[in-house]
Chain A
Amino acid sequence: MRNFLSQKVIDIKPSGIRKFFDIVSEMKDAISLGVGEPDFDTPWHIRDEGIYAFERGKTFYTSNAGLKELRSEISNYLKREQELQYNPDDEILVTVGGSEAIDIGLRAVINPGDEVIIPQPSYVSYEPCAVLADAKPVIINLKSENEFRLTPEELLNAITNKTKVLILPYPNNPTGAIMEKEDLEKIAKIVVEKDILVMSDEIYSALTYKGKHISIASLPGMKERTILINGFSKAYAMTGWRLGYACAPKDIIKQMTKIHQFAIMCAPTTSQYAAVEALKNGDDDVKMMCQAYNQRRRYLLNEFRQMGLDCFEPYGAFYVFPCIKEFGMTSEEFATRFLKEEKVAVVPGTAFGSCGEGFIRISYAYSLDNLKLAIGRLKNFVNRLRKNV
């Protein structure tokens, strides 16, 4: 029989966290700090609206771009939160999670051989999506001494005459890094000069702990060259509802909608009705969850300080990214031993790019009691390692 598989797909490396997943799943009493989704339940009023949508028989397709009412609420939300103006009629597309928006956004703009700049450590799907879209990924290795922010120098060094897209993943998973206005202004200047498109993945925009998140699309001259990606998973604890959105100039949205229309048809209808409720009446929930994350973040950083574990202060998302270089192990060795010896699962930094070597991602989407238990075990582990050295 012939080999039916696509070489392009075969060449894509499987996700680095799969191996850990298998080990943890077999351990009965392991604690995980490896989850990339909120621990909160979706607020009840939002779930209730989903149930109500079922009761009313809202079980059909919506328009390809998504419910008109939802697009209007997204537009209102971006205006009130980030002073962005997007026309709900032709500049907003509702997608199946932010992930779909990343995929079809790249496919809509890439010609074979175009280069896509991907700062790492970052979310696992940018690089494979770029490859599947026939782009050439160009990786920028972000540095901990810059608090994993993208610097103008790093960007300039990565730009060639084939560069088409810069992916800007802030607030960042896995580092928790953010980009503040001054940082973004420097990037925007280069991007305009070099005539590059920005794909700004702002899925964690609601979870920042040092002032409000600022979107690069809000800077002068940037709206027309930005695909803004956001969604409901992280802000409203709605991961399983699979709902996100993309905002972009209408010629880009038009092409993205074409792919979306043929590949997906429309985002889940129930989820869209629930999301309308989230945007209308969910601000207080977001505030409450954000406050809880911030308390946990402070708790973890304080514990790291007391342990003498090197970690820059992250101001976004729900991750901390401590450095484990002092133990003379790779991230993967550290994570494997920590799991086997103390039964705590963390994700090695290398799962998010090779420059994540020497770091581990710890998620604080867990209750304080859970975190305390895990930190107790981390203390034991670190003490033991330091004694042996």
Chain B
Amino acid sequence: MKEELLSIIEKNSRIDFSELAVLLGVTEEAVLEEISRLEKEGIICGYHTLINWEKTSIEKVTALIEVKVTPQRGRGFDNMAERIYNYPEVKAVYLISGGYDLLVILEEKTLKEIANFVSDKLSTLDSVLSTATHFILKKYKDHGTILNREVKDEREVITP
């Protein structure tokens, strides 16, 4: 049940327990129990909403920043990652294989704020060797969801 439950609520976190129980073919109590266990174990980390901010009048700029750092003895990259992810404007931090080490996703109101963050906060950290900042121009698909797509049923209305 675990995998199926997770894949349902990953797409729809608003679904209620009784409906989940029906879809999974189990009791409501079993669903409740499983979800609270998954929350406790930190497998379910939150229930977020996917928002297409481009459609609002609210200004937001998102940047992907490639960061090269010197790993620290005994602590690897974790310490550096922590120093970066503690900034609330940082939306995500990933350790990356290949040409650079950390990928930082940063969200701000203006381009200038991003520039300031990179020059004042990020680049000045001791272990940071270099950064490369990429601005997102348009989001086509996010969290597995294609944005701005109209779904139309192309099928013939009745077929045998």
Interface residues, chain A, CB within 8 Å of chain B?
Answer: 15, 17, 20-21, 24-25, 30, 32, 34-37, 39, 123-125, 173, 291, 294-295, 298-299, 302, 345, 347, 351-352, 368
Contact = CB atoms under 8 A, between A and B. Distances in A.
B23 A21 contact: no
B160 interface: yes
Most interface-central of B22, B157, B159, B160 (chain A CB within 10 A): B160
Given A39-B153, A291-B4, A295-B8, A17 B158 contact: yes
Given A291-B4, A295-B8, A35 B25 contact: no
B23 A295 contact: yes
A35 B158 contact: yes
B155 interface: yes
A368 B15 CA distance: 12
Contacts of B160: 15, 17, 36, 123-125, 173, 347, 351-352
Contacts of B41: none
A36 B4 CA distance: 25
Contacts of B24: 295, 298
B22 A21 contact: no
Contacts of B126: none
7 contacts: A17-B159, A21-B156, A124-B160, A294-B25, A299-B19, A351-B160, A368-B23
A271 B4 CA distance: 31
Interface residues of B, number: 15
Nearest to B151: A367
B155 A35 contact: yes
B63 to A, nearest CB: 29
Interface in B1-53: 4, 7-8, 19, 22-25
Given A17-B160, A295-B8, A351-B160, A39 B155 contact: yes
Contacts of A173: 160
Nearest to B23: A295
A37 B155 contact: yes
A273 B156 CA distance: 26
Given A291-B4, A295-B23, A299-B23, A37 B157 contact: no
B159 A345 contact: no
Contacts of B4: 291
Interface string B96-114: 0000000000000000000
B101 to A, nearest CB: 31
A352 B160 CA distance: 9
Contacts of B158: 17, 20-21, 24, 32, 34-35, 345, 347
Given A15-B160, A25-B157, 16 more contacts: A17-B159, A21-B156, A21-B158, A24-B157, A24-B158, A34-B159, A36-B160, A39-B155, A295-B8, A295-B24, A298-B23, A299-B22, A299-B23, A345-B158, A351-B160, A352-B160
B159 A35 contact: yes
Interface string B133-156: 000000000000000000001011
A32 B155 CA distance: 10
